[in-house]
Structure 1
Amino acid sequence: MDELHLLLDTCNFPDFVLLTEHWLRPSECFLISDYLPISNFCRQQSIHGGTMILARQTIETIFCNIDKYDNLLLENVFEFSLSFCKRFNLYILCVYRPPTGDIAMFLDKLDSILSQLSLHSKVVLAGDFNINYTDETLPRTSLLSILNSYDLKMHVLSPTRITSSFATTIDYFCTNFDDVLCTVLPSGISDHEAILAKMPYNTVSSSSHYMGRIFSRRNFNAFSAATASVNWNALETASDPLTLFFQVLCDKINQCFPKMRLKTKKRKPWVTRGLRISAKNLRFLTKLCKYTTNENILVYHQKYRSLYRKTIKAAKSNYYRDRLNMSSNRQRECWSIINDFRHCHRKVSEPELRPDPLMKTLMLNLTVATNKNSL
């Protein structure tokens, strides 16, 4: 789950997460920060498999699990999770067919469940079908015929399972509406690639988004160059130098740090910049291993993955140990940590106060301009 959290961090924490083959038993739970399951299927008679739909806590309450089609569920053939949002008139259907699952029965059940969804609703169909989209085979033709009959379009156009000997597109993301952009990303935690889909839907107004500015190094460099090019000597001859100064400053700030709609990122506090870089490197190595048989690279990948997992454990251990050591009431802090894992409370903290780097950059340029004038 920690590796999945770092992958979601890379994807800017999407609103929904669809999982297949989560391997969970009915008695097991799945906890990941800021997400809750809205629909879930676990195998009862056998192991592995399963499907799950997760949603961010800010929108989880407006989605409901649909279980009236559970009679179509069949382990090792047709496994699915289904959720519906009345406000958006949106169905999300996550489906898994194992490689050994009966194809004819799978297609028949898929056709049955799609036929019972409202024709006037938006539908997202995604999952691992284990039917190669790029092969001209009878199963693929039959599947496309079903998808076309419900106006469902496939948006994944790149291989999603890659090895040194073959590359197949067996993971699907289909919708009955347009303006959907799918990107295949190396997951680094599975033999399948991850699919990041961006699609339009009426988002919920909540604290997960806010208007703000991005104070990146690139924007600071642009601001420094913009203020350095201003002729500050004009302030001496201006009738109202303070108003002119304020106007020029606001123009440069809006130019270099424009306001935009930003998404709140709730990263786990133990996730460091080094861990995010390591996660990115691991995904690169995982993708490289799918195209090579070089023994040195394969061994290095295994060692890197092992070290990566140990680093995650060490980072978590150090963070929680430091919290306990720095606390004046260890018993209360211990319960606070437990509640963090259980998502039972929201931690409220005072805003961090620190010198404004924007003002430092501006004052530096004004100092340089003053020194030039004095020379």
Structure 2
Amino acid sequence: MTMKYCLLKQNQFMFSVVYRPPSGNVNLFLAFLDKLLCHDNECKYYLFVGGDLNINLLNDTSNASELLLLLTANNFYNVINHPTRTTLVTSTLIDLFITNFDKEKVRAGVVSSDISDHLPIFMLIDTAREVCKRNSDTMTIQNITQATLDTFRQKLMTTDWADVFHSDDVDTAYNTFIKKFKQLYSDCFPDKTIKIAKKGRKPWMTPTLFKKTRRKYQLYQIFLSTREKTALEQLKKYRNQLTREIRKSKKLYYSNLFDVECRKKSRFIMETYKQCS
């Protein structure tokens, strides 16, 4: 296999994901890439190519030189400049983002994360679209429960409504009733501001697990800076232990969702299932 790739076009933008395995034919790959870049230049597209090319741009090799020459000839450039794969003995730059978009409107980099043996890369572009306003991270609620409803009913029964019943004017009686009713409602169901949980945050991730996740990130940074075997061993040991704890917490979370009462009634099972989906 020489390579795998996927292309997607939207208006004047074209996006491509590419993977060339270490054994893939470099000459065939560069020929394909040259045709792709030429085509997009002729059609006046903005092209974004990302992926693992397995051509190390940190080494002065013929493959690296040919790739850089090809990009320059077609007025393209690579936006990733730091190593994307680090081991105990090597650092390589083989994961790239290639584009012909305006350099002044591109932001890119490498994320220090141990989610795989390659560091994740990112690229952001400014397309001058209207900036969306950020939604508020709080919301206002009223705590309406059986207890507060009982309190509300009790206050309605014990409130003196004489000025409503004995009023000779219908409008006055109505306004007096509404004023008292709203006041009782506000007293029993006051507005309360709460924070909205961030979307995407897993409910089984406890504060302790988040703290340990940050510690794992710190250990990974230590390994990247030192590249010592002991640092790598410590990272792997801590990461494996944390993975087991997260899985255990997730299992316990879903087990508690389907409690004994829930299992007795199919309606509750469906409601719980919707919460999980």
Same fold (TM over 0.5): yes
Band of TM-score, shorter chain:
0.5 to 0.7
Taking the aligned partners of 2:128 and 2:259, their CA distance within structure 1 comes to 45
SS in 1 for 2:258: helix
Picking from 9, 13, 24, the partner of 1:101 is: 24
Structural mapping, 1:1-375, within 5 Å: 75=1, 77-86=2-11, 89-117=12-40, 119-177=43-101, 178=103, 179-201=105-127, 210-212=134-136, 265-290=199-224, 291-295=226-230, 297-325=231-259, 328=262, 331-335=266-270
Give, in angstroms, the shift of residue 143 of structure 1.
1.1
1:195 counterpart letter in structure 2: I
Contiguous gaps of at least 5 residues in structure 2? 139-197
1:292 counterpart letter in structure 2: R
Give, in angstroms, the shift of residue 126 of structure 1.
0.8
With over 3 angstroms needed to count, the CA separation of the structure-2 counterparts of 1:103 and 1:339, relative to structure 1, is farther
Taking the aligned partners of 1:105 and 1:299, their CA distance within structure 2 comes to 39
Q: Give the alignment's TM-score, normalised by structure 1.
A: 0.50
1:286 counterpart letter in structure 2: Y
1:301 counterpart letter in structure 2: L
Q: Give the ranges of 4+ consecutive aligned residues of structure 1 lying more than 4 Å apart after TM superposition.
A: 202-206, 326-330, 332-341
Contact map agreement 2:204 2:249 (CA 8 A) in 1:
yes
Give, in angstroms, the shift of residue 205 of structure 1.
8.7
Taking the aligned partners of 2:272 and 2:15, their CA distance within structure 1 comes to 34
Give, in angstroms, the shift of residue 153 of structure 1.
1.9
2:31 counterpart letter in structure 1: D
2:85 counterpart letter in structure 1: R
Cα deviations across residues 164-183 of structure 1 (Å, max 9, x unaligned)? Answer: 22211111012211221222
With over 3 angstroms needed to count, the CA separation of the structure-2 counterparts of 1:107 and 1:303, relative to structure 1, is same
Contact map agreement 2:79 2:109 (CA 8 A) in 1:
no
Taking the aligned partners of 2:6 and 2:275, their CA distance within structure 1 comes to 27
User: For the pair shown, which has the larger CA radius of gyration, 1 or 2?
Assistant: 2
SS in 2 for 1:130: coil
Taking the aligned partners of 2:130 and 2:201, their CA distance within structure 1 comes to 21
Cα deviations across residues 4-51 of structure 1 (Å, max 9, x unaligned)? Answer: xxxxxxxxxxxxxxxxxxxxxxxxxxxxxxxxxxxxxxxxxxxxxxxx
Give, in angstroms, the shift of residue 156 of structure 1.
1.0
SS in 1 for 2:15: strand
Cα deviations across residues 139-181 of structure 1 (Å, max 9, x unaligned)? Answer: 1121122222332221111111112222111110122112212
Taking the aligned partners of 2:271 and 2:76, their CA distance within structure 1 comes to 47
2:155 match? none
Cα deviations across residues 60-93 of structure 1 (Å, max 9, x unaligned)? Answer: xxxxxxxxxxxxxxx3x2111222223xx32211
Contact map agreement 1:186 1:284 (CA 8 A) in 2:
no
Taking the aligned partners of 1:114 and 1:339, their CA distance within structure 2 comes to 46
SS in 1 for 2:113: coil
Contact map agreement 2:258 2:272 (CA 8 A) in 1:
no
Give, in angstroms, the shift of residue 313 of structure 1.
0.7
Taking the aligned partners of 2:79 and 2:135, their CA distance within structure 1 comes to 31
SS in 2 for 1:212: coil
The number of aligned residues is 214
1:279 counterpart letter in structure 2: T
1:157 counterpart letter in structure 2: N
With over 3 angstroms needed to count, the CA separation of the structure-2 counterparts of 1:134 and 1:333, relative to structure 1, is farther
With over 3 angstroms needed to count, the CA separation of the structure-2 counterparts of 1:274 and 1:326, relative to structure 1, is farther
Give, in angstroms, the shift of residue 319 of structure 1.
1.8
With over 3 angstroms needed to count, the CA separation of the structure-2 counterparts of 1:188 and 1:120, relative to structure 1, is same
With over 3 angstroms needed to count, the CA separation of the structure-2 counterparts of 1:201 and 1:268, relative to structure 1, is farther
With over 3 angstroms needed to count, the CA separation of the structure-2 counterparts of 1:292 and 1:94, relative to structure 1, is same
Give, in angstroms, the shift of residue 188 of structure 1.
1.1
Give, in angstroms, the shift of residue 328 of structure 1.
4.2
Cα deviations across residues 290-326 of structure 1 (Å, max 9, x unaligned)? Answer: 533343x333222211111112212211221222228
Contiguous gaps of at least 5 residues in structure 1? 1-74, 215-263, 344-375
Higher helix share: 2
Identity over aligned residues, as a percent? Answer: 27
